[in-house]
């Protein structure tokens, strides 16, 4: 089953629609969707290593555009959509804590959480809710998301062959590990930070 899923993912990664799919996933992940774009960025970069930088750029642009939607949800729709999303991700009771943290360390929160598996949409919605400086927010999102995706592209470009061989053999374990990272990210988001 996992082998068929892996082959399907590689075929998707090689399709002409893959860059658009990647951009849409990156956009959605920054504002409301729980699955990170890495799930398609990895196979796409492995299928076409020469395109890894372009794919990282697509992820970065899509993620920052999605961050702006998350910011708008926090600024304009917090009482309806924003509050529901924040509660869905376990931050509802911690909004006051986050407000205090943002007052002193907003820039660090944005930079650090943008690199981690902690759901980035929490950062984007909270930034809008707290009216964090929009120009600074955009610059910080470009830095943190760009660093994350370009670092991943660099690793895949240089170590793509061995990674591809491992994924070909252990794709089920890769999916399990990715799921574990997502779950840990949500747990950290609700319990620790």
pLDDT band at 173 (very low <50, low <70, confident <90, very high): confident
Q: Give the N- to C-terminal CA distance of the chain in Å, as an integer.
A: 36
What does the pLDDT read at residue 76?
A: 92
pLDDT at 124 over 60: yes
pLDDT at 150 over 80: yes
pLDDT at 115 over 90: no
What does the pLDDT read at residue 117?
A: 67
Summary mean pLDDT of the chain: 82
What does the pLDDT read at residue 63?
A: 96
| d(C-alpha 59, C-alpha 51), whole Å | 12
Question: Can you read off the two tokens belonging to residue 159?
Answer: 């170590």
pLDDT tens digits, one per residue of 104-114: 888 888 988 88
Domain extent at residue 61: 2-191
What does the pLDDT read at residue 98?
A: 76
Those residues whose C-beta lies under 8 Å from the C-beta of residue 140, and which sit 6 or more positions away, are 107, 110, 111, 114
Query: What mean pLDDT comes out for the span 122-135?
Result: 90
What does the pLDDT read at residue 182?
A: 66
pLDDT at 140 over 70: yes
Q: Give how many domains the chain has, as a whole number.
A: 1
Q: CA of 23: how far to CAs of 143, 155, 157, in Å?
A: 17, 20, 19
pLDDT tens digits, one per residue of 91-100: 777 777 777 8
pLDDT tens digits, one per residue of 59-86: 999 999 999 999 999 899 988 888 887 7
HSE-CB of 74 using CA atoms within 13 angstroms: 28
């Amino acid at each position: 089953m996992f082998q068929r899923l892996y082959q399907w993912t590689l075929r998707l990664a090689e399709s002409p629609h893959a860059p658009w799919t990647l951009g849409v996933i990156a956009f959605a992940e920054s504002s409301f969707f729980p699955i990170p774009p890495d799930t398609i960025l990895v196979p796409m970069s492995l299928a076409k290593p020469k395109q890894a930088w372009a794919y990282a750029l697509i992820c970065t642009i899509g993620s920052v555009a999605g961050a702006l939607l998350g910011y708008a949800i926090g600024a304009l729709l917090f009482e309806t959509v924003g509050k529901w999303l924040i509660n869905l991700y376990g931050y509802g009771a911690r909004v006051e804590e986050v407000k205090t943290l943002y007052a002193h360390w907003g820039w660090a929160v944005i930079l650090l959480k943008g690199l981690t598996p902690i759901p980035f949409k929490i950062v984007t919605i909270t930034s809008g809710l707290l009216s964090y400086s929009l120009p600074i927010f955009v610059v910080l999102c470009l830095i943190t998301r760009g660093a994350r995706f370009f670092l991943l592209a660099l690793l895949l470009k240089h170590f793509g062959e061995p990674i591809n061989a491992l994924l070909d053999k252990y794709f089920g374990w890769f999916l399990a590990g990715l799921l574990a990272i997502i779950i840990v990210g949500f747990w950290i988001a609700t319990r620790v930070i």
